[in-house]
Structure 1
Amino acid sequence: MAASVKPMHQDFARWYSSVSMGDDAQRRQNRWQGVLSVVSGAGRDIVEALLRLAYDTRAEPDASVLQAIRQDFKNADDAFEMSGNKRELQVLSGSCLAILMEDQDEYEGAAAALAITTAALGGARSHDLPMDLLALAEAAIVQRASKNRTRPRLSDVVTRAVPKFDFEQAKAKIREQQSWDGVVEAFSLAAEATSATMKNLAARQVSSINAAENFIQIQDEELQMLWWITGQRSEEYAAAFDAVPAEVQPLVFASDLANDTALLPGPPSVKALLSRAGLKERKKIAVVTAVNAPKQDWMRRLMDGTDLSPVSTPLHFAIQRQLETGAGDAWVPGWAAVTGIDAGHTLPALTLGELFYRERLLLLFE
C-alpha cells in the first residue's frame, strides 16, 4: 500500500479512544498518520510484529522491527513515547492490521488477513482490542477471493481511440526560437511527448494482460482443484482419500489444495472442497493428535526450507517441534509454552484443515 494523505478511517477515533486521554484531535490525527506510515511499509516482517503486538503473545516481536514501528509513530508525533506505552501500541497495531486488510489490491493485505486467522487458531488465542480482528480478517479473505475470481472487463483498459500526442510545447519552442537550435529542442520536446503517450498506452496494455493472466491462473487453479476432488486422491500422500487415516486427513488434504493455489488468499470454496473430501465439522481433533499422526518423512518434506513462526504458523511450528523432539508427546509442553496455546486444544477437523491450508499459503507465497 502506497503512503498517502488518506482521510481518517471512520472507526479509528473509536478504536483509539480506548487509550486516548481526553479528546485531543491533533494527537489522534498524528496517530492516524503514524498508522498510515506503518501500513505503507508493511512487509511480512512488519505484519508478523503487528500480530504479536496485537495479540500480546508470549513470543515478542523482533526488536529491530519493533523499533521501526515505534519510529514511524515518533516521526508522525515527536511526543509519542518510545517505551512504556504497551497498551497504546497494542491498539495501534490492531488498527494497522485492520487498515492493511482493507486494501484489496495489495498482497500484504491478503497475507495479513490469513495470518490473523491462523494466529487465532480457532479460538486458541484472543485479543483485548476495540475491533474484531478475526471477523475483519474473514470478511477480507472472502472479499479478496471473490475479487480475484471476477472476470476482468478488458474493455475498461483497452480503447480503440487513437492516442493523442501533445506537441504544443514543441510548436511553442519553434515559434519562440526560429533557428536550427530551436528545431532541435522542439524535436526533443516532441520526443518526450511521444514517449509519455506511448508509456501511458503500454501501461494500459500491461494492465489488461495482467488482468487476463490472473484470471487464467484462477481458472487453472479451480480446474486442478476440481480434478482433485473428482479423482478422490491425495497427491501429497500418494493415496486415495479413504486410504488416508482420519487423523492425517486435515493436514494432508489442506496441503494438497495449497499446492494447487495460484493467488492469495485462495478460493472461497476451500472449506467446501475440504468438506467434500471428507473432513467433518462436527468431529473434533486435538492439535497434538493431528501433528503426531502423519508419516515422519512427509512432515520433513513439508518443513524443508520453511521459516516458521509460533504466532502466525502455530501448526507448522508444532510439526517442527515434533520432528526435533521425536514421535510422542515430549514436544508438546515446549510448544505450548512458546505459543501460549493450551496443549489440549481441539478443533473441528474441517476448521483444522482450513487453518493449515492458510498456513501453507503463508509459507508457499513468501
Structure 2
Amino acid sequence: MHADFPKLYSEISTDGAQRALRWTAIEAITKSSWKRAQGEMLARLVFGTKSPPGGHHEDELEEALVAFHQAFSEADPSIEQGARQNQVLAAGVVLQYLGSNSLVALAMITTACGGARKLVLPVDLVTLAENALSRLGASRRVRPDLSKISIPAPEFDFEPDFSGVVHNSPITFKTVFDQFTETVGEALTDLVDKFNESTKVLVETGKKADEELDLLSWVLGQRSLLSNQSFADLPLSERPLVFAHDLASLTKIFPGPNSIPGLLSRAGVKATGKIKIVDAVNAVSDDWTSAVLKGRKPSPVTSPVHFALLRRQETGAGEGWYAGWSATTGIDVGATMSPIALAEQFYREILWLR
C-alpha cells in the first residue's frame, strides 16, 4: 500500500479493513492493461472537472469509467458510489501509477494547468506528479557503461550417447546428431538473445545521445523549427508556445528531460512576469495553430491550452472564443502563468497528446 493512501482515504473512512479492500481494487486496476482514456478519466475524477469522467458519448471514456467502478465493486460488493469517494479512490489509483507511469503524471500536471485548477485533497497530488516526472525523466536518461557490455563465448557440455549406435548402420547415428544439434541450437539461441539485449542497450544509448544533441543544436542554433524564424525575431508573447512545440518535437524519450526549463530560459522564455493564457493563444499565427493541431484531438481537461487553440481556430483570433473555452474548461479567462511555466505546460500537453 502506498504510504500516502491511509492519509488520503481518511477523507472517507478510517476503517483499516475497508481501506485494505479499496487498495486491493486499486492494485487490480493498475495491473490491468493501460489505455490513455484511463488517464483522462482519472484526471476528470480527481479534479472534479465540468467535463464528466465518462465523457459525452465517448466509448473509451465510458469503458474506462465502468472498469473503474467494477474493480471496486468486485473487491467490496457493499461499496456505495459517491463523487467524493470516487475522487479519493481515483487519486489512490494515481498514487499507485506515479511510480512508473509518466503519462499519468503528465495528465495530472497538465490538468492542474499551473494552478488554474485546484485540488482539495489531503495529499498534494500535483507535487507528487511533478516529483515523479523529475525522477522518471532522470532515470530514463542514465547512460549505461558501454565498456561493461560483453558477450561471452558460448559454452556447452555434450556427451554423445553411442549406446544405440550400430557401426555398420549409419541411420543409427541420427539420434546422436539430433542430440548434438539440439545442444548447439540452445547455445546459439542463448548467444543471440544476449546479442540482441546488448544491441538494444546500444540503440537506447544512441537514442539518448541523439536527443541531447538535437536539443542542444536547437538552442545553440537559435532558430525555431515550425515557424522557421530566428529566436530574436519572435515576439515575446509567441515564444512560450512556439519554443515548447519545438522542444517537444525533438523529445524522443518520455517524459522529457529535466533540462527543459533551462533550455527554454536559454532560448529567451522569461521566468518572471505573467502572461494570460488567452493572450499567448491569440499571439501565434493561424498557420502555426493549424500545423500544431493537425491530427490532434485536444481535451478540455488534460490539454486546456491546446483546447484554447482549437476554439481560437474555430472563431479566429480575438475575444470571441474566450467565454466558450472558459465555460468548458472551468479555467478563468484571466488566468495567468509565467511565460516559462506556460511553455512547460504546453510542452507537457504535446507529450500527453502523442
State the TM-score, normalizing by the size of structure 2.
Answer: 0.86
1:2-58 Cα deviation digits (max 9, x unpaired): xxxxxx23333332232125232xx33322221122112222111111111111111
Q: Which amino acid aligns with 1:20?
A: S
Q: Which has the larger radius of gyration?
A: 2
Answer yes or no: is the 8 Å Cα contact 1:54–1:129 preserved in 2: no
Deviation at 1:236? 1.4
CA contact (8 A) 2:215 2:250 kept: yes
Does residue 341 in structure 1 map to residue 331 in structure 2?
yes
Q: Tell me, what secondary structure is at the counterpart of 2:337?
A: strand
Q: Show structure 2 runs of 5+ residues with no match.
A: 54-60, 166-170
Give the drift of 1:137: 1.4
Give the Å deviation of 1:286. 0.2
Label 1:162 to 1:197 Cα distance change in 2 as closer, same or farther (>3 A).
closer
Cα gap change, 1:233/1:51 in structure 2, threshold over 3 Å: closer, same or farther? same
Cα distance in structure 2, aligned partners of 1:71 and 1:199: 43
Tell me the secondary structure at the aligned position of residue 15 of structure 2.
Answer: coil
Partner of 1:4: none
Name the counterpart of 1:3. none
Corresponding residue for residue 11 of structure 1: 4
Pairwise CA distance, 1:153: 3.6
Residue 216 of structure 2 corresponds to residue 226 of structure 1 = yes
Q: Does 1:29 align with 2:20?
A: yes
Q: Is the 8 A contact 1:91 1:130 kept in 2?
A: no
Aligned-pair CA distance for 1:157:
6.7
Larger mean CA deviation between 268-277 and 55-64 belongs to 55-64
Aligned match of 1:65 = 64
Cα deviations by residue, 1:267-312 (Å, 9 ceiling, x for unpaired): 1111001001111111210001000111111101111110211111
Contact kept? 1:102, 1:140, Cα under 8 Å: yes
CA drift of 1:200 comes to: 5.1
Cα deviation, residue 194, structure 1:
6.8
Distance 1:130 1:69 in 2: 22
SS at match of 2:114: coil
Taking only the aligned residue pairs, the percentage that are identical comes to 37
Count of aligned residue pairs for this structure pair: 341
Instruction: State the secondary structure of the residue aligned to 2:98.
Output: helix
In the alignment, is the contact (CA less than 8 A) between 2:299 and 2:307 conserved in 1? yes
Q: Which runs of 5+ in 1 are unaligned?
A: 1-7, 104-108
Task: Output aligned runs, 1:210-221, within 5 Å.
Answer: 210-221=200-211
- 1:20 is the counterpart of 2:13: yes
Q: Deviations over 1:84-116 (max 9, x none)?
A: 32222211211211211202xxxxx11111221
| C-alpha contact 2:21 2:76 (8 A) present in aligned 1 | no
Say if 1:12 and 1:95, in contact at 8 Å, map to a contact too. yes
Deviates more, 1:87-96 or 1:290-299: 87-96
**1:123-202 to 2 correspondence within 5 Å?**
123-154=115-146, 158-160=150-152, 162=154, 191=182, 201-202=191-192
Q: Deviations over 1:229-271 (max 9, x none)?
A: 1111111111111111111110001111111111111111110
TM superposition shift of 1:156: 6.8
Q: Determine if the alignment matches structure 1 residue 279 to structure 2 residue 269.
A: yes
**Superposed CA RMSD:** 2.9
Q: CA deviation at 1:149?
A: 2.0
How far is 1:323 from its partner?
0.6
C-alpha separation in 1, matches of 2:149 and 2:85? 44
Q: Distance in 1 between matches of 2:20 and 2:188?
A: 41
